Each structure stands twice: as C-alpha cells, then as structure tokens.
Structure 1
Amino acid sequence: MSQISLVPVDSGNWRAVAGLTVAPHQREWVAPPTYYLALCQYGDAGWRPLAVSADGEIVGFLMWTIDPEDDAAWIGGVIIDAERQGTGLGRAAITALMEKVLAEEPQVTGFALSYEPDNEAARRAYASVGFAETGETEDTEVVARLKR
C-alpha cells in the first residue's frame, strides 16, 4: 500500500480534490467533493478540510470538526477516488486523521461519524478501524463512535 499523508486543501491542490470521483453505486451516499469543500468554507459547523495524498498524488479527501457539546471529533466527507478504492487508503486516512487530531487537540474525548444505514461498505470500513454504532442518528444516518 502507498504511504499516505494528510495535507491542507490549498490553492495548489483544490482542483485535484474537486476532481475526485466515487464509484457509481456510491453516489447515492457520498456527495461530490465540491459540496464538501463548500460546506467547509460556508457551513456553520467549523469543518476543516484535508486532502489525502499518496505518493505525491491527491487520492482522497476528508474533513473534521470538534463538537463543542462533548469534545468528540467528527469525521465527514470521506472520499477515496474510485480508481484507488479497495487498497486500504480509506482506513489509513481515517487512522492518520485520528492520530493528527489527538496530537493537535488533546481535549478530544473520542471520534464520531455517520453514514447511511444501507451503506454496508462504509459500515464495514469504519468497524474495521474500531467504530461501533451507538443507536444515535444524524438526520437519516446512523452514528458510530470510537472512544479515545
């Protein structure tokens, strides 16, 4: 598997992030990266965008924020380009993000994310990193958490 790093989305890589695609069957669950970039810029949740780089190439995107109510770090907008899926890059990106957040935000109590109930691939991927569904929902999505 390629070595990954998380890098800020900036003037030099935003076009590569915007050009990421997901597999056709995932489009019902995953928004285009341009939507997530706009949400980071204009939404009120304080989402922080990061590009996923592997071997110097932008291969994915994710964003995160901290919930002020419980200091949980929420992870969202996870995209690995369709051509690079199934290679462990998603799990590596989530793990790298958790390490980054813990190093930068020591008050974080754990991690949370949500996904559509029918998205079995997301359920399996997040469970493989240690996330467990809690019974909570966020809009139409199920919430999974990982305690620190």
Structure 2
Amino acid sequence: MPTQLVPLEASHEAALLALTLAPEQLPFTAHPAELLPELKGDPQRRGVTILDSGEVAGLFALSAGPHCQKYLSKPDPHAVAVSALSIDASRQGRGVGTAAMRLLPTLVPALFPDARRVVLVVNQRNPGARRVYERAGFTVTNERQGPVGPQWVMSLPLPTAP
C-alpha cells in the first residue's frame, strides 16, 4: 500500500505521539504532541495523517485564515498553508514526505473547496525540506524572516475545476 493522506482521526493519536523526529529536524517542525492540542476545536485548521503501507508515518496541518495569511505578503483567501510536517525518523529518506506532498492537489480541495493554491515556509537552514517540496511541485515565491531565521515561502498552484 503506498503513501496515503487521511484526515486526522482519534485512532491515530497514540501512534502519532510515539513518533520520533530526527534530531536535525527539531528546530524546524513541531512534534505531533505539540500540534495535536492546537488543532482541536479550530475550524480553520485540519490535521492530516500520513500513512505509509497502512501505518501512521507522520502528521501535518492544513490551515486557512490567519494561520495561512501570516506566511503571505498580501492576503489571499484562496490559499491554504501546510505547516508542522513531521515524518517519523525511521521513514525519512524513503520518499514518504515527497509522496505525501504530491497528494496535496487531491486532498486540499476536498477539505478546503475554495483553495486555489497551497503555501508553506521552509527555513533556509533546512535545504533537505526544500528539496522535498520542490520534488512535489512547489516553487519559491518569496522570502521572509521566521522565528528561527530566514525562510523561503513556497507555493503550489492547485488545478482548477473545468
């Protein structure tokens, strides 16, 4: 079974809490234990579980509204942001993150029907993450200062319905 993206379910939480992040990723992302409480009760944020061969392999958030707009130089009501991508250390380097990001054009419109593009930010000290996103079709559209240094703002246009 290949990589899949599914909306976060309560049944995923124990496995997500047991994920181990690679030490070099700790400055750049949130562990699911930090992200899960932030997602509860926020209608503009959706948790997405990454499954690899049917097993929980990671988590990220999709966000609209203020959670997304903070990454942009001007407001875009049709943008949705990816944040806090975390992949279990045992599955890193195997293409799981790239495969997950390549599935966004199918998942995002199902969760956010008005979305026309996906945006994210990557710390410039994390070139491996930038490569993952570029392989999935994202391009650098801007730069900004983030909490732990300069960041690239990246964007992925979504196909429009005919």
TM-score by length of 1: 0.86
How far does the alpha carbon of each residue in 1:72-110 deviate from its partner, in whole angstroms, 9 at most, with x for none?
111111111100111111011112233111244342121
Question: 1:45 Cα shift?
Answer: 8.0
**Cα distance in 1, alignment partners of residues 81 and 129 from structure 2:** 15
**Cα distance in 1, alignment partners of residues 24 and 7 from structure 2:** 28
**Cα distance in 2, alignment partners of residues 134 and 45 from structure 1:** 27
Partner of residue 17, structure 1: 16
Question: 1:138 Cα shift?
Answer: 6.0
- Secondary structure, aligned partner of 1:34: helix
Partner of residue 36, structure 1: 35
Partner of residue 72, structure 2: none
**Alignment identity in percent?**
32
1:115-130 matches, within 5 Å, as: 115-130=122-137
**Cα distance in 2, alignment partners of residues 23 and 66 from structure 1:** 28
Stretches of structure 2 lacking an aligned partner (at least 5 in a row): 67-74
Partner of residue 57, structure 1: 55
Question: 1:135 Cα shift?
Answer: 2.0
Stretches of structure 1 lacking an aligned partner (at least 5 in a row): none
TM-score by length of 2: 0.79
How far does the alpha carbon of each residue in 1:34-91 deviate from its partner, in whole angstroms, 9 at most, with x for none?
111122126x682200111122210111110224741111111111110011111101
Question: 1:3 Cα shift?
Answer: 0.7
